[in-house]
Amino acid sequence: QKEVEQDPGPLSVPEGAIVSLNCTYSNSAFQYFMWYRQYSRKGPELLMYTYSSGNKEDGRFTAQVDKSSKYISLFIRDSQPSDSATYLCAIGFNDMRFGAGTRLTVKP
C-alpha cells in the first residue's frame, strides 16, 4: 500500500465548476499536509499547507484535513482555465511523501 493515494485522473470540468481533489494516507504519524500545483515542465508550486484537522481557506482554494479518516481534500471554487495543471498532495515536511498527482483540465 502506498503511503499516499491520489487518483491520477485526468479530471475535466467546465469553467466555473467546483473542483474536488482528494488523497488518503496511511501513516497517522505525519502531521503536515500540503497541496502543490504543477504546470507542465515546471516545478511544483506550494498552494496551501496545514497541520491540523479542519478547513483552511485561501481565496478560491480550500484545504480540508480529516485526520481521523486520514483523508485530505482540496476544493477549487469558480475554477478557471488557468487552474489547469497537475495537483499534488503531500504529507510531512522534511520527509515529504507525494501523491501521484491529479491532472486537471478546466475547459472554457
Partner 1 sequence: GAVVSQHPSWVICKSGTSVKIECRSLDFQATTMFWYRQFPKQSLMLMATSNEGSKATYEQGVEKDKFLINHASLTLSTLTVTSAHPEDSSFYICSASFGVGDQPQHFGDGTRLSIL
34 vs 72, which CB is nearer to partner 1? 34
17 vs 56, which CB is nearer to partner 1? 56
Footprint on this chain of partner 1 (rule: CB under 8 A): 8, 31-32, 34, 36, 41-46, 49, 51, 88, 93-94, 96, 98-101, 103
Report, in Å, the least distance between residue 69 CB and partner 1. Answer: 22
Report, in Å, the least distance between residue 16 CB and partner 1. Answer: 27
Report, in Å, the least distance between residue 94 CB and partner 1. Answer: 7
Q: Residue 86 — left, alpha, or beta (φ > 0 → left; ψ -120 to 50 → alpha)?
A: beta
Q: How far apart are the C-alpha atoms of 54 and 33, rounded to whole Å? A: 12
Contacts of 63-70 with C-beta under 8 Å, sequence gap 24+, read 63/33, 63/35, 65/33, 67/28, 69/24, 70/24, 70/25, 70/26, 70/28
32 vs 71, which CB is nearer to partner 1? 32
DSSP symbol at 29: T
Report, in Å, the least distance between residue 51 CB and partner 1. Answer: 8
